Chains A and B, each alone.
Chain A
Amino acid sequence: MLKKSLIALVTVLAMAGCASKGAHNAQDNAIPTPVDNSSTAGIGSNTDGAPVQIGDMNSSGQDVGLFDAAAKANVIYFSLDSSDIDSAGQTVVDKFARYLQANPTTKVRIEGNTDERGSREYNVGLGERRANAVVSALRTKGVAAAQLSVISYGEERPAAQGHDEAAWAQNRRAVIVRQ
């Protein structure tokens, strides 16, 4: 469409003289690509609709574990590049193991998280490894598999915002969330 309205290049100017360059090949006389779109418009279309929404926009309570009153009691922290549960983490696991065995209809989700170092998708894998370590520890204590599920958020949902070891230590964690 715009191609038709494209005004021809100024060949006269381009071709006058300039023998010294000797560079006037077909490229010089190429017609510029037509402007098919405003750069503000969408690609391949003029549609500029509202963004789509992925997931639930309302607070469902499923990921507010960090901020509820029990926050400190349902988090297991990990050291760098590790999915080993230390004694403090084991205390949290033991507490939840007793609770879940006493309440066999209760289900929990274990959310694995990492610090911001390393690539994002690799960290999703590392977060899942941490969540699975917590699942194994709970299973060892006799919790039924049906009560447990796993999700990894990698580095996408930090608990602390800084870019230092203090913040990273807060973010390398698995969180046990009631479902």
Chain B
Amino acid sequence: MRNNFFGLLVLLMVSSTAHADLDVVITGADTAASPIAIVPFAGLAANEVDMAKVIDADLSRTGQFRTLSRSSMPEQPSDPSAVNYSAWRAVNMDNLVLAQAKHDPATGKVQVRFYLLDAVRGGAPLMAYDMPAVMPNQLRYVAHQISDLIYQKLTGIPGAFTTKIAYVAVNGLGAQRRFELVVADYDGDSPRTIAVSREPLMSPSWAPDRKQLAYVGYERGRQAIYIQSLSTGQVRKLISEKGINGSPAWSPDGRSLAVTLSFETNPDIYIIDVATGARRRMTDQYGIDTEAAWSPDGQYLVFTSDRGGQPQIYQIPVAGGDAKRITFVGKQNLKASYSPDGKSLVLVNYDDARYRIALLDLASGAMKIISDGPLDESPSFAPNGMVVIYATQDRRGVGLATSSLDGRTRLRMSQSGEVHEPVWSPKTQ
């Protein structure tokens, strides 16, 4: 980005963003990260969300920005006219974000005006927006909207900060075990449980319109794939054959689901028409074929297969044809899915006794490891392709983390219980 000249200096001065509830790990010298300061918003009540903190976490998580801690800020202005640019240049900031919130006693609503400033050149704001007036409980969403606007302005790439994630939360062992399917903001905030079961819930998959989720459940000793409307809560059982009914993956056009069924011989990939239930068998091979994912153009599926011995990733044309192995680096590769531009896969790579998240460049075949393991799984791209979310295990237990594409910026989320299988929603259309 701009002013990379200052990047190295900033590295020495800024340790990391300081958040009590978020664990940001920045590794390696990241001179490409653009230094930005999100000044605390003026005019917010003490019991209202700290919007600057939300934006700070949004931008930090991408790895493309390095934010300035509050204790290092030379001043905390809320209007461009009050900014002392030389003081910000002294702490090597490229950009500043300032804002002021105004409460309307008549409506109870809050309106936020924010400014994005060029700290190096000064001058008029790069952006100056009045956000829509909202009730105070919507201010977190407005903060994510501001992150989207800043991110797009500074990178040219649409932000994904107003998206959602779905995940599975588990508590207890044996007969006490409880499974919940949860939908939350992309950063884990505002979780809402949409399904509960004392038997496993697995493998959530978003419909492209993000109004429905497909997932796997168990009912009286039998597996089934369900489709649930998020607005009405209505659930439809799509299929429940003998054996495995797993790995639902919505096609990009929303008309069909790729699934894993084992009732005919052993686990194979099928495509089911959501409206009619008609199904087509895509693989018929000794061994386990599962974890199908669609290419963004709907032309290919990738899936995990152990037909060659160890599980590896294979690709098959949806129109029909032979499956072709596409992973050759690592003892095992599992659970692949495409980047939004279709040029790479994110997957789980097993080597050196560690399961780690990796990116596979489809053109070159190059594999880039972006997490440390040892038991990382279920990676999913953000809809803008700039961040990956996955499940990890560390001293805090089993939970979710995000990584920038270079693997240098990782952020561990805080959630109670055992949390896994995060899947990132599409953007609203």
Q: B-facing mask of A141-165, CB < 8 A → 1, else 0?
A: 0000000011111101111010100
Quick check: B304 and A119 within 8 Å, CB to CB? Answer: yes
B85 contacts the other chain (CB 8 A):
no
Whether a CB of chain A sits under 8 angstroms from the CB of B61 is no
B130 touching A9 by the CB < 8 A rule? yes
Instruction: Tell me if B113 counts as interface (CB < 8 A to partner A).
Output: yes
Complex contact A118–B231 (CB within 8 A): no
Interchain CB contact under 8 A, A14 and B127:
yes
Tell me, rounded to whole Å, the shortest Cβ–Cβ distance linking A9 to chain B.
5
Describe A's contact surface by its main secondary structure. Answer: loop
Please, how many angstroms separate the alpha-carbon atoms of A124 and B334 in the complex?
13
A20 touches B121 (CB 8 A): yes
Contacts A20-B123, A124-B202, A128-B262 known; 17 new A-B pairs at CB < 8 A: A6-B132, A13-B124, A14-B128, A21-B118, A21-B126, A23-B126, A39-B162, A39-B190, A43-B231, A44-B211, A45-B231, A49-B233, A53-B195, A54-B218, A56-B219, A60-B220, A149-B221
Pick the contact of A122 from B115, B141, B198, B304 — CB < 8 Å? B304
Question: What is the CB-to-nearest-CB distance from B428 to chain A, in angstroms, rounded to a whole number?
Answer: 8
The answer to whether B7 has its CB under 8 Å from any CB of chain A is no
B223: CB under 8 A from chain A?
yes
B399, CB-defined interface residue at 8 Å: no
Q: Closest residue to B189 on the A side, CB-wise?
A: A39
Contact mask for chain A residues 9-46; partner B; CB cutoff 8 A; 1 contact, 0 none: 11001111110110100011010111111111011110
Alpha-carbon distance A21/B123, docked complex (angstroms): 9
Confirm or deny: B174 has a beta carbon within 8 angstroms of a beta carbon on chain A.
yes
Contact A54-B195, Cβ < 8 Å, known A9-B130, A120-B421: yes
Q: Is the CB of A119 within 8 A of B232?
A: no
Name B5-31 residues within 8 Å CB distance of A.
none
B137 within 8 A of A: yes
In the bound assembly, the distance between CA atoms of A5 and B130 in angstroms comes to 11
Cβ of B210 within 8 Å of any chain A Cβ, yes or no, is yes
Q: Does B201 contact A (CB under 8 A)?
A: yes
CB distance from B267 to the nearest CB of A (A): 4
Contact between B174 and A66, CB atoms less than 8 A apart: yes
A72 to B323: give the CA distance in the assembly, Å.
43
Contact of A54 with B196 in the complex, beta carbons under 8 Å: yes
- Distance, CA A20 to CA B222, complexed state (A): 66
Expressed in whole angstroms, the Cα–Cα distance for A40 and B190 within the complex equals: 5
Known contacts being A51-B194, A120-B378, A122-B335, is A163 close to B183, with CB within 8 Å?
A: no
**In the complex the two chains form, is B425's CB within 8 Å of A39's CB?**
no
Q: Which residues of A contact B304 (CB under 8 A)?
A: 119, 121-122
| Alpha-carbon distance A117/B267, docked complex (angstroms) | 19
Q: Which of B127-182 contact A (CB under 8 A)?
A: 127-135, 137-138, 140-142, 144-146, 148-149, 152-153, 162, 164, 170, 173-175, 177, 179-181
In the complex, 22 of the A-B residue pairs with CB atoms within 8 angstroms, ordered by the A residue number, are A10-B113, A33-B148, A33-B162, A38-B137, A42-B192, A47-B233, A49-B233, A54-B195, A54-B226, A55-B219, A116-B375, A119-B304, A119-B377, A120-B202, A122-B288, A124-B202, A124-B260, A125-B288, A128-B244, A128-B266, A157-B174, A157-B177
CB-based contact B202/A37 at 8 Å:
no
> From residue A134, how far is it (CB to closest CB) to chain B in Å?
15
- A126–B198 Cα gap in the complex (Å)? 22
Considering only residues 281-299 of chain B, those with a C-beta below 8 Å from chain A are 288, 290-291
Q: Is B195's CB under 8 angstroms from A44's CB?
A: no
A7 in the interface, Cβ–Cβ < 8 Å?
A: yes
A-B contacts at CB below 8 angstroms, number: 246
Decide: B267 and A109 in contact? CB cutoff 8 A.
no
Question: Contacts A118-B334, A153-B200 given: A35-B132 contact, CB under 8 Å?
Answer: yes
List A contacts of B235 (CB < 8 A): 52, 54
CA distance A35 to B111 in the complex (A): 12
Give A179's nearest chain B residue, CB to CB.
B221
Task: From known contacts A18-B124, A33-B162, infer whether A124 and B246 are also in contact, taking CB-CB under 8 Å.
Answer: yes
Measured CA separation A58–B200 after assembly (Å): 15
Tally of chain B residues near chain A (CB < 8 A) = 102
Task: State which of B173, B228, B262 has its C-beta within 8 Å of the C-beta of A52.
Answer: B228
**A34 to B, closest residue via Cβ:** B132
Contact A156 B288 (CB under 8 A): no
Distance (whole angstroms) from the CB of B360 to the closest CB of chain A? 15
Chain A interfacial positions (CB closer than 8 Å to B)? 2, 5-10, 13-18, 20-21, 23, 27-28, 30, 32-40, 42-45, 47-57, 59-60, 62-64, 66-67, 109, 116-122, 124-126, 128-129, 149-154, 156-159, 161, 163, 179
Known: A7-B133, A55-B219, A119-B334. A18 touches B197 (CB 8 A): no
| Contact indicator B217/A55 (Cβ below 8 Å) | yes
Q: Which of A9, A53, A64 contacts B175 (CB 8 A)?
A: A64
Which A residues are in CB contact (< 8 Å) with B219? Answer: 54-56
In angstroms, Cα B194 to Cα A169, docked, is 34
Closest A residue to B355 by CB, please name it. Answer: A117
The answer to whether B393 has its CB under 8 Å from any CB of chain A is yes
B326-346: contact bitstring with A at CB < 8 Å (1 yes, 0 no)?
Answer: 000000101100000000000
Alpha-carbon distance between A44 and B199 when the two chains are bound, in angstroms: 28
Report the bound CA distance from A59 to B195 in whole Å.
18
- Chain B residue, CB-CB nearest to A38: B138
Closest B residue to A177 by beta carbon equals: B221
**Is B244's CB under 8 angstroms from A152's CB?**
yes
Known A118-B311, A119-B334; contact A124-B195, beta-carbon cutoff 8 A:
no
Q: Are A119 and B348 in contact (CB under 8 A)?
A: yes
Q: What B residues does A20 contact at CB under 8 A?
A: 121, 123
